Structures are given as C-alpha cells and as structure tokens.
Amino acid sequence: MDLNRLTIHEAHELLSKREISSVELTKAVLHRIEEVEEKVRAYLTVDEDRAIEMSKKVDEEGDFSSPLSGIPVAIKDNICTRDLKTTCASRILANFVPPYDATVSERLKAKKAVIIGKTNMDEFAMGSSTENSAFFATRNPWDVDRVPGGSSGGSAAAVAADECIYALGSDTGGSIRQPASYCGVVGLKPTYGRVSRYGLVAYASSLDQIGPLTKDVTDCALVLNAIAGWDERDSTSANLPVPDFTKSLVEDVKGMKMGLPKEYLGEGVEPEVKEAILSAARVFEKLGASVEEISLPHTEYALWAYYIIAPAEASSNLARYDGIRYGVRAKDYEDLLDLYKKTRSEGFGREVKRRIMLGTYALSSGYYDAYYLKAMKVRTLVKADFDRAFEKYDLIIAPTAPTPAFKLGEKTGDPLKMYMSDVCTIPVNMAGLPAISIPCGFSGGLPIGLQIIGKPFDEATVLRAAYTFERATDFNSRKPAL
C-alpha cells in the first residue's frame, strides 16, 4: 500500500486501528517528496526532522481521537508557522521566520497534525500560475510542462502528486479553486470571515480567505471543521456557530434548485470546459436537482473592478516592507529614502511591483473617485446579482476556470491574458461567498473543475452537493501518472 496516496479519512481509520503509525505515514510522504519533487517543485521548505519528531510524539501519545492526528499537511508559504520559514515566495522575506503561528496553524497543531513543509506560490499570492514565485515555478503533476495554477499552485500540486495528504491555501480571487481545477483536486474557499485570517500575510484584506485543498470532499469537510470558527485576533472573523461539516456529507440533492449563469459559459470558455459543466448539470438533474439558466449581469465588470480593489489594498498592505523591521535589507544606500527604494526594488518581483503601482495610482489624489470608488460600487452590484439569485436558488454552478492548465511561459508576457484565468472565480471573492472546485471532466488528459457556489456561511449545502456529485461520478479517482 502506498501510504502517501491515502486520504485523511482513510489514514485516520488505519491510524486509529493501529494498522499504521504516524511515523510510517510521514516517512512515506517524505519518500514521495524525495521521489518526485525534482519534477513538481511544490515545496519551498520541507521540515523533515520536525515532521518526524512530531509524528513520533503523536504515536507515543497514541491519541487519534482527532481525525487529523498524525497526518501530514503542507501549508502555503504565506501562512505563518512559528520557527518555520515563511517567505511568501518573495526575496524581500527570504529569511523571515515568524515568532508566532497563524490561527489556522495553531488549530492544526492543536489537532496534532504533522506540518511537513511550506508550499510554493505566486509572490505575495499575486498570480494565477505560480510562475511569479521569486525562487522557481511549480509544475502540474498531470503534465510537467504546464502550470499548476495559482497562487496556491504548490499546495494543489503537492496534493495531486501525493506529496502530502492535504494542504492549506489562500484564495483572494480564485487562488485555491483555480489550482484545484488545474490539478484535479478539491479546493474550498470558505465564506469571508468563516476562517481566521490572523497570521495570513495580507494581500487584499477584504478578499483574502484561507481554505483546504484535499483529495476528496470528505477530507475538505474534516479540515474545515478544524480551521473554521471565530477568532478575537481577526476583526473580520465572524462570530457565528460552526456546524459539523461532516454531517452534510449526504448523497442527496433531491429538490435542490441550482442556477447556471450564462455569463460563465460565454466567450473565452473552451468548448470542452463548457461541455463538462453542462454534463455535470445533467448529472445533478438525474440525481433530482433542478438546474436552470440564470443571469448574473455584472459578471463582466467583476474582473476589472477586482484589479483596482485588490492592487489598492496590496499597495497599502505591502507598504510595511521597508527593510527596517524585518525581511531583507538593501546593502548599499545613501539615506533612509534610498534604503526604502533599493530594498523594495531588489526585494519585490515584477508582478508585485506592477500591482503596487496600479494600486497606488488608483488611490492617489484625483483618481480615487474615478477608479477605486467606482470599483467598490461595481463590487456592490456584483454582490447584489448573487443576492437576487440566492432568493430563488440554493446553489450556483459554473466552471472554475475557462480553460484547463496552460503551458509554462504561455501567458507570462501578457498580464491581461493571465488575469483572465480568474474570470470565473473573482466574482465569488467580491461577494464574499463560499465556493468549492471539484473535478468534473478532462480535456486532452487535463482535469476540468466544476465550481459550486453557495449562500454566505452555507458551506454545508456546498459540501453536500459536491459530495453527491463526487459519489455519482469517477473523476475523483483518476491520478496523474508522474
């Protein structure tokens, strides 16, 4: 048995019966990393010694009451991990070791999860392909000449390649769901406020959200159970009761009403992707749900509004990287202003600089009303579209991405083309809704993702529909032949 191929629930069952040990499971994952990491390049840091030490401790204690006990997890490198390097895939934070844990890291450790390492990403989560990492590009396990998606490309690739049992990512405009789609895994963006952002290095604070990347929907529910909930250290955290999400893993969509927005199947969506989504709709109908075409008229403006709001927030958030308090500092400088300029010029990559400049411009005197304020008004209209739809429908289904994974280097010279990769996911962040991506087909051997969008704080219904679809199809059972 290849232990690294197990899901969380399969591993938990074997650990609970003492048929395997956490050390064996952790070593199997570390062996897999050694075997394929050169091809995939999913990790920035592998914390081998501490992972084995932690797994030994879990075995000695022998308490596997938590479904995550003794199970290896990979964490995206913009989520703080105490005494373990957290670089955001940027030169400016190349040596940064946080003195504290993010709330999600803390919660996983409390459940005795084994942190195996930190995964590669687009620098400061700005990108759709993980090619914007300052260190190296991650590759898609289904075809190593293609991107794994972004910005959580390392986490998605690690899960798809069985280099971890599950992973955490962050999603600002699709950064969990789009790589989940490209890598053929399950990725959930919870409702904004459902999971604490404390210790997540901020990109765009009103859009960022942490979520799981897993091998199936059951695992997704298990991880969400562990990381969701109110946190007094995060002012945007929602103080609401958290249900047991595993109770929504029921094969039943009878009587559910689903909307399929025509705007998500229009120009730019590849025919194979469109057919896979329509086929998924037919599966839901056979299972007793009703699917109707709907319209979300402001969808076409969401992408452009996002690329004003997110860079504006990034411009403010990234002002703290000045070479004074932490991170890398330029060596030769004449005065304080020169130190700032040189540190930021040397430390930030092209895409990060591009977005800081865009955001600073949008917020500057004389342009604030013309750009930022208008973009915020569009955001309100996008949210209103969803609100109206959810008065009649339980869920909305759509493609996760307009195409399967594209080739490395294919879009790096054309930022606008790259930004279009997130056209199906961005509106969900703008409205702060929960959404999941699950495998629903293949195009030329590459996975296609189905996106299921729910009402605010109704992850339970999203998971129920995703679980029902997963059990009725076999897309989830296929693995890349690395």
- Sequence-separated (6 or more) residues with CB below 8 Å from residue 340: 322, 323
Predicted pLDDT at 199: 98
Q: Is 175 part of the annotated catalytic residue set?
A: yes
Give 396's strand partners: 259, 453
* Tokens encoding 139: 């590759």
- Give domain limits for the chain: 3-256+394-477
C-alpha to C-alpha distance for 177 and 171, rounded to whole angstroms: 8
C-alpha to C-alpha distance for 193 and 228, rounded to whole angstroms: 9
CA angle 204, 208, 212 (to 5 degrees): 155
Predicted pLDDT at 122: 98
Residue with the bigger pLDDT between 327 and 467: it is 467
Mean pLDDT of 321-346: 92
* Tokens encoding 315: 């411009």
Predicted pLDDT at 92: 97
Q: Is 76 part of the annotated catalytic residue set?
A: yes
3-state secondary structure of 458: coil
With the C-alpha atoms ordered 29, 30, 32, 37, is the resulting torsion angle positive or negative?
A: positive
- Output the furthest CA–CA distance in the chain (Å, rounded): 70
The answer to whether 152 touches 118, Cβ cutoff 8 Å, is no
Q: Tell me, what DSSP letter sits at residue 86? A: -
Query: Would you say residue 327 has pLDDT above 90?
Result: no
- Of 110-114, 252-256, 362-366, 432-436, the range with the lowest mean pLDDT is 362-366
Active-site position among 151, 155, 170, 181: 151
C-alpha to C-alpha distance for 82 and 104, rounded to whole angstroms: 12
- Write the CATH number of the domain with boundaries 3-256+394-477: 3.90.1300.10
Active-site position among 66, 155, 175, 315: 175
Q: Tell me, what DSSP letter sits at residue 373? A: I
Mean pLDDT of 401-408: 98
C-alpha to C-alpha distance for 248 and 457, rounded to whole angstroms: 13
- Local confidence band at 326 (pLDDT 50, 70, 90 cut-offs): confident
Q: At what angle do helices 299-317 and 374-392 cross, to 10 degrees?
A: 130
The burial of 1, by beta-carbon neighbours within 10 Å (0-12 exposed, 13-18 middle, 19 or more buried), is given as: exposed
Mean pLDDT of 198-206: 97
Beta pairing, strands 446-453 & 72-76: unpaired
3-state secondary structure of 151: coil
> How many CA atoms does the CB half-sphere of 150 hold within 13 Å?
31
Q: What is the mean pLDDT of the chain?
A: 97
C-alpha to C-alpha distance for 279 and 260, rounded to whole angstroms: 12
Give 442's strand partners: 447
- Local confidence band at 482 (pLDDT 50, 70, 90 cut-offs): confident
Q: Please state whether the peptide bond connecting residue 151 to the residue before it is cis, i.e. omega within 30 degrees of 0.
A: yes
Query: Would you say residue 219 has pLDDT above 90?
Result: yes
* Tokens encoding 28: 């199997």
* CA 436 remoteness from chain centre: 10
Mean pLDDT of 127-154: 98
Which string of DSSP letters, residue by residue, matches 15-61? HHTTSS-HHHHHHHHHHHHHHHHHHH--EEEE-HHHHHHHHHHHHHH
The burial of 187, by beta-carbon neighbours within 10 Å (0-12 exposed, 13-18 middle, 19 or more buried), is given as: buried
Predicted pLDDT at 415: 87
CA angle 160, 286, 403 (to 5 degrees): 40
C-alpha to C-alpha distance for 144 and 158, rounded to whole angstroms: 13
3-state secondary structure of 275: helix
* CA 152 remoteness from chain centre: 5
Tens of pLDDT along 5-64? 999 999 999 999 999 999 999 999 999 999 999 999 999 999 999 999 999 999 999 999
Tens of pLDDT along 236-261? 999 999 999 999 999 999 999 999 99
User: Looking at the chain, how many residues does it have?
Assistant: 482
Q: Residue 5, Cβ neighbours under 10 Å: how many?
A: 14
- Sequence-separated (6 or more) residues with CB below 8 Å from residue 432: 191, 192, 193, 383, 456
Nearest Cα neighbor of 130 from 409, 435, 480 is: 409
Predicted pLDDT at 416: 85
Q: Is 57 part of the annotated catalytic residue set?
A: no
Mean pLDDT of 97-121: 98
Predicted pLDDT at 90: 98
Q: Report the percentage of the chain scoring pLDDT > 70.
A: 100
Tens of pLDDT along 273-317? 999 999 999 999 999 999 999 999 999 999 999 999 999 999 999
C-alpha to C-alpha distance for 75 and 79, rounded to whole angstroms: 7
Predicted pLDDT at 1: 81
Predicted pLDDT at 152: 98
Active-site position among 22, 27, 76, 437: 76
Tokens 């999203």: give the residue. 462
